[in-house]
Structures are given as C-alpha cells and as structure tokens.
Structure 1
Amino acid sequence: MKTYLIDDDNLGNYLTETLLRIEGFSTCISTFESAEEALDTLLSKRAAEAPRVIFLDLNMPVMNGWQFLDALQPHESWLRGRCHIYVLTSSLALADLEKARRYDLVAGLIHKPIDSEEIQAIRSKLEDEDRANDAD
C-alpha cells in the first residue's frame, strides 16, 4: 500500500515512518517536508497511482494542512474512495476536529504522536472497506 507522510518535522517523520514499517502498514512510504511538494507529486500521478493513505500535519510553513486540503477539493472526484487522509495534529482544539469533518477526503484526525493502536485501527478500517468493495 502506498502511503504519503506530510510533515515538516524531521523527527516526527522518522518516528511515524518507523512505526508504520514496524507495524507492516505500508511497504511504500513517501515522506514530504513540504505540503506543496506533496501536492505537486500527488497531482502529477494517475488515479491508480494515488496513495491509499495520507498522514497530513496541519501546522507547516508556506502551505499548511488546511491549504493542502483546500487545494485538493477540485480533485476530490478521482481521489474519493482511493485516498484516505488522516490529519496529524498536536493541537487539542475542538475547532480542528470540526473543521476536519468538513473535508470529504479526511477519514480522521489523529493526535500526535500516532501509536500502534491507531495504525491497526486504520488498517482494519481499510481492510473492511476492501472486503465491502470485493463483495460488490
């Protein structure tokens, strides 16, 4: 499964990527320290090459997570069902949770640091979705 990790924090990226690999979540992880670079890469791909999961930090310079999500809105039709975005945040603000719910591509909000239980829950959710799609 292809996964994007978008966060300007080097240590956070290292820890999250290491945990994703230990948990066997993904064999193909692309890490971006810039939301702009991630957006350019994502939009240059065909639908079949889109990452299954994006872990997106909110607080980044130049383009933050909210701006990244806004930039994806015109592309929702080809991303929906293929790409699940999990917002990573160190904020405990209820407003962030409410705002994240307004974006159809956002599958959830995770408080940093992500842990094994959250990774397993996401994997389980994706596997359930795959089974449902296979049954159709």
Structure 2
Amino acid sequence: MKTYLIDDDHISTFITAQTLRLENFSDDIHTFLCAEKALEQLIGETSRKESPEVIFLDLNMPGMNGWEFLESIKPYEPQLANKCRIYILTSSLDYTDSLRMKDYPLVTDLLHKPIVPEDIQVILAESLRR
C-alpha cells in the first residue's frame, strides 16, 4: 500500500515508518520532512493517477503546516476521493484539531503520536472494507 508520511521530526518519522513496516502495513513508504515537497510529489502523482492510498500528516511543522497542506490539496479532492485517506498524526491534545479536521473530507481520523500497532490494525481493517 503506497503510503506518505509527512512529519518534520526525524525521530517520529523513523519510529512511525518502522512501526508501519513491523505491522506489515506497507513496504512502500515515502517520507517527507516538509509538506511542500510532499505536496509537489502528490500533485504530480495525482495527475498520473498514482496517488498514495494513505497519508499520515503531522500538523505542526515549519513552513507549510498540516492545515495548509490540507488547504492546498482541496482542488485535487475529486481525484483523491475514494483513493486516498489522510490520517492526522499529531502530538497535540488540542480538541479543536478534532473539530477542525471535519472540514476536510479526505481526513479519516486523528491519531496521537506515537502511532501504536492497534491504530495500524484498525486502518488495515478499514482498507479491507473499501
């Protein structure tokens, strides 16, 4: 399953990628330390119909943050709908993040760092139901 992991924290990115591999979630993990690079690749792949099936997105990043990334992909929602699910992966405990994510139809859920095997298994089960 093609997966994007967008997070500016090297340690968090490493831990999340390793956990995804250990849980047999994906061997096709593309990591991005800045949202701008991920956006650029996503737009290119979407035009070639090669978009990722899952994106794990950190909210608090320098430069383009997670919310700005979500705003930037709004024009591509029709091409990504039913093909790509976004999971916000954050250390924030701000309840307004849970409310705000509902404004973005591609966002499936908000998960707290570090991602745990149980979260991954739920995502895998959801993938099988699609």
Same fold (TM over 0.5): yes
Normalising by the residue count of structure 1, what TM-score does the alignment of the two structures yield?
A: 0.93
C-alpha distance in 1, partners of 2:23/2:90? Answer: 21
> Which residue does 1:12 correspond to in 2?
12
C-alpha distance in 2, partners of 1:48/1:22? Answer: 28
> Which residue does 1:22 correspond to in 2?
22
Where 2:103 maps in the other structure, the secondary structure is coil
Normalising by the residue count of structure 2, what TM-score does the alignment of the two structures yield?
A: 0.97
> Which residue does 1:57 correspond to in 2?
58
> Which residue does 1:39 correspond to in 2?
39
Query: Structure 1: which 4+ aligned runs deviate by more than 2 Å?
Result: none
Question: Are 1:5 and 1:30, in contact at CA under 8 Å, matched by a contact in 2?
Answer: yes
Letter in 2 for 1:78: Q
The structure with the largest alpha-carbon Rg is 1
1:86 aligns with 2:62: no
Where 1:86 maps in the other structure, the secondary structure is strand
Instruction: Please tell me the root mean square deviation across aligned C-alpha atoms, in Å.
Output: 0.7
Which residues of structure 1 form unaligned runs of 5+? 130-136
C-alpha distance in 2, partners of 1:117/1:99? Answer: 24
